[in-house]
Structure 1
Amino acid sequence: MEFKDYYQTLGVDKDATADDIKKTFRRLARKYHPDVSKEPDAEARMKELNEAFAVLSDPEKRAAYDQLGHRYQAGQDFHPPPDWDAGFEFSGRGFSGTESADFSDFFSELFGARMGRAHAGGGHFHARGEDHHAKIMLDLEDAYAGAVRTLTLRVPRVDAQGRTVLAEHALEVRIPKGVREGQLIRLSGQGSAGLGGGPPGDLYLEVHFKPHARYRVEGRDVYATLPVAPWEAALGGGVKASLPDGAVEVCIPAGSQSGRKLRLKGRGIPGTPPGDLYLVTEVVLPPADSPKARALYEQMARELAFDPRQGG
């Protein structure tokens, strides 16, 4: 997938004001609208203009796009980084699925799922304020014990000059024990103000876990690699393993190979029922970096006469 430079599509500077973008779009729309244009590529060009305007005319999407896009050039091979939109607070406005379906895969990859969630939060024409949505990144350990965290969210605003700026605000959030990936934490009354004295909307925080050097999460199940020495794998025995909620003694069955799964029932993310934790063994060889170590390996080679490729 190629990166789309929406500023280049509209022919405006990256610091263009909201009025500049609107005026430029209207001028180009008069030129390329398929109902009036005689340009051979009018329909395709108009589709590109509509998509660029949909992003750059919306302060929220523009701010998120700017944060991501300053590292890329038009046409560059592009895959959005994981959780590129974490920490951005989006309001409930957005396109319906039908309208956004007319846009490119690039647009859908960035905004499709986000806008689908946001649109479901409520409409513009009710007295109740719009719900807001934000993706947050938590440590896996928070899901085991629960926590109170101060989170900083970035909210796009349009300043007096019509330019999109990011305002930050901090929230103290209670993370419930057993929270899982994709779960929504609702903060009542933290969305947009209501209309005509109506109640404010809510803020929904979508939970994602930060990448962890040791653990991988699937639902409520947690996976970790357990390094073992060759003699521990061959002879079996107890070894100590670190878990997100503390250390535990694990029994290694004799004759274990790399890739063997050891299931610790109920030691995954808490819940009803809780998940399981799987330790995947990885046999680690001691380095042959001393005369004594080399001699031991040579003795094993002679006396065991072991061929790992036999029968392969």
Structure 2
Amino acid sequence: MVDNTHYEALGVPRDASADDIKRAYRKMARKYHPDVATDPDADAKFKAAGEAYSVLSDPESRAAYDRYGADWDQPRPEPDQQRAGAGSRWGGGFAFDDRDINADSFRDFFGGRFGGGFGGGFDRSAMQRDQHARIEIPLEDAVAGAKRAVTLQMPQLDQTGHVTMEQRTIDLTIPKGVMPGQQLRLRGLGTAGGDLFVEIAFQPHPVYRIEGRDLFVALPVTPWEAALGGKVKMPTPTGKVDLKIPPNARHGQKLRLRGRGLPGAQKGDLYAVLHIVNPPNLSQKARDLYRQLASESSYDPRSNLGA
């Protein structure tokens, strides 16, 4: 039976493009984020959208989901070999480099340096090999630092030189201020005592846009808040704060909170980008007040257009 749960969670058809899926996730995440949503089911819809995006944004997991539905991530060994392909999602979000892991590939890689052949003894030190993986973390982990227990499968060699896939749980320390593209080196956790290099990537965030160590958030304000100024609540990665809106604030105006971006030797800043938003429904009294404002104001925002 065809499973459309993840597509329905994002409100996209099964033939949606990768860009369509990304746009739909950002829209749903902004709409149902706990900091801004009023829908009583917002939390469940927010989580469903995140889970759907984690599956559909990856071509391999999406293909598996389209074929197998809710059971897409169940083990299905290929005949005569074990495969760990790019984009394969082990517990914790790891993805190993695209390579068939079997005895022949080890022999090819090390140029036949197996003194005595695979059936007998061999120089195990020659088998040491670094492994590379990639993990997506929430922005909040980079802001505060975190420790994560990550489960993954890795190729290992037994005493006869046969390759097996071993499940391992690794305690990964994510340092405060880590940046996308940065690699964490775990010594001795690769193949046969080699090292494991973990590349950091950030999960898409429904609220913040990241540029270097600076963060940007689109902050909705009402027309009267923009005109009169005042304090409004706004989110930061470490909690909500009161932001002072200056009188006569403009749409698109940036207000900077120093040092509220990503930590580091030079801390990033957090920018609130003001978006003036009209209320969806106006009472009759509110309409009358707007008419009064229109009659008393001579301001013409189109005067420079010659209109």
What's the TM-score bracket when you normalise by the shorter of the two chains? 0.5 to 0.7
Aligned to 1:45: none
1:15–1:206 distance in 2 versus 1, CA, 3 Å: closer
Contact 1:223–1:280 (8 Å) recurs in 2: yes
After TM superposition, give the deviation of residue 207 of structure 1 in Å: 0.9
- Provide the secondary structure at the position in 1 that maps to 2:295: helix
Counterpart selection for 2:274 from 268, 272, 281:
281
Counterpart selection for 2:230 from 221, 228, 237:
237
- How far apart, CA to CA, are the structure 2 residues paired with 1:141 and 1:234? 33
Unaligned ranges ≥5, structure 1: 4-13, 20-57, 69-85, 95-121, 158-164, 194-199
Aligned to 1:185: 184
Aligned to 1:250: 243
1:123–1:274 distance in 2 versus 1, CA, 3 Å: farther
Q: Deviations over 1:71-120 (max 9, x none)?
A: xxxxxxxxxxxxxxx521238999xxxxxxxxxxxxxxxxxxxxxxxxxx
Contact 1:261–1:279 (8 Å) recurs in 2: yes
Q: Deviations over 1:198-255 (max 9, x none)?
A: xx11111111111111011122111111221212211223323220012223222222
- How far apart, CA to CA, are the structure 2 residues paired with 1:269 and 1:186? 21
- 2:71 pairs with 1:90: no
Contact 1:89–1:154 (8 Å) recurs in 2: no
Contact 1:123–1:130 (8 Å) recurs in 2: no
Aligned to 1:293: 286
After TM superposition, give the deviation of residue 168 of structure 1 in Å: 5.4
- Provide the secondary structure at the position in 2 that maps to 1:143: helix
Contact 2:146–2:174 (8 Å) recurs in 1: yes
The one-letter code sitting in structure 1 at the alignment partner of 2:169 is A
After TM superposition, give the deviation of residue 136 of structure 1 in Å: 0.6
- Provide the secondary structure at the position in 1 that maps to 2:235: strand
After TM superposition, give the deviation of residue 269 of structure 1 in Å: 0.6
- How far apart, CA to CA, are the structure 2 residues paired with 1:140 and 1:301? 44
- How far apart, CA to CA, are the structure 2 residues paired with 1:182 and 1:171? 20
Aligned to 1:214: 207
- Provide the secondary structure at the position in 2 that maps to 1:185: strand
Q: Deviations over 1:164-212 (max 9, x none)?
A: x98754322111111111111111211000xxxxxx1111111111111
- Provide the secondary structure at the position in 2 that maps to 1:136: strand
- 2:127 pairs with 1:134: no
Aligned to 1:60: 84
- Provide the secondary structure at the position in 1 that maps to 2:240: strand
Contact 2:83–2:99 (8 Å) recurs in 1: no
In the alignment of these two chains, the number of paired residues is: 207
RMSD: 3.8
- How far apart, CA to CA, are the structure 1 residues paired with 2:100 and 2:240? 47
Contact 2:84–2:99 (8 Å) recurs in 1: no
Structure 1 residue runs of 4+, over 6 Å off? Answer: 91-94, 122-126
Contact 1:287–1:293 (8 Å) recurs in 2: no
- Provide the secondary structure at the position in 1 that maps to 2:241: strand
After TM superposition, give the deviation of residue 123 of structure 1 in Å: 7.4
1:293–1:170 distance in 2 versus 1, CA, 3 Å: farther
- How far apart, CA to CA, are the structure 1 residues paired with 2:77 and 2:143? 45
RCO higher in structure (CA 8 A, sep ≥6): 1
Contact 2:259–2:269 (8 Å) recurs in 1: yes
- How far apart, CA to CA, are the structure 1 residues paired with 2:132 and 2:99? 7
1:271–1:167 distance in 2 versus 1, CA, 3 Å: same
1:93–1:178 distance in 2 versus 1, CA, 3 Å: farther
Q: Deviations over 1:251-284 (max 9, x none)?
A: 2222211111112222111100111111111112
Counterpart selection for 1:202 from 178, 195, 205:
195
After TM superposition, give the deviation of residue 132 of structure 1 in Å: 1.0
- Provide the secondary structure at the position in 2 that maps to 1:181: coil
- How far apart, CA to CA, are the structure 2 residues paired with 1:283 and 1:123? 62
After TM superposition, give the deviation of residue 15 of structure 1 in Å: 8.7
1:190–1:16 distance in 2 versus 1, CA, 3 Å: closer
The one-letter code sitting in structure 1 at the alignment partner of 2:95 is F
Aligned to 1:147: 146
Counterpart selection for 2:260 from 267, 287, 292:
267
1:204–1:130 distance in 2 versus 1, CA, 3 Å: same
